[in-house]
Amino acid sequence: MSSRNFLRIAGTIFALVALAHLLRIIMGWPVMIGTWSIPIWISLIALVGAGLLSVTGLRLAKSI
């Protein structure tokens, strides 16, 4: 697999993860791990992180 294809795939996966976190924030979906309810603000941090990784990966794939 070439590095361009890897970066495209990784960027797309991170974009899908960011989209899932965005949908959770908008729709207010609850997430539980055992008895702990994950707060929405954690999804906000994950949205920013996954979004940055997605943009970075896709930009690098374009520049190669």
Give pTM, 2 decimals: 0.90
Among the listed residues 61, 57, 54, the one whose alpha carbon sits nearest the alpha carbon of residue 22 = 54
Query: Strand, coil or helix: what is 5?
Result: helix
Tokens describing residue 13: 């996966």
Report the DSSP beta bridge partners of residue 33. Answer: 36
Residues 6+ apart with CB under 8 A from 37: 30, 31
Pairwise CA distance, residues 52 & 11, whole Å: 9
Tens-digit pLDDT profile for residues 41-58 = 999 999 999 999 999 999
Per-residue pLDDT, 7 = 97
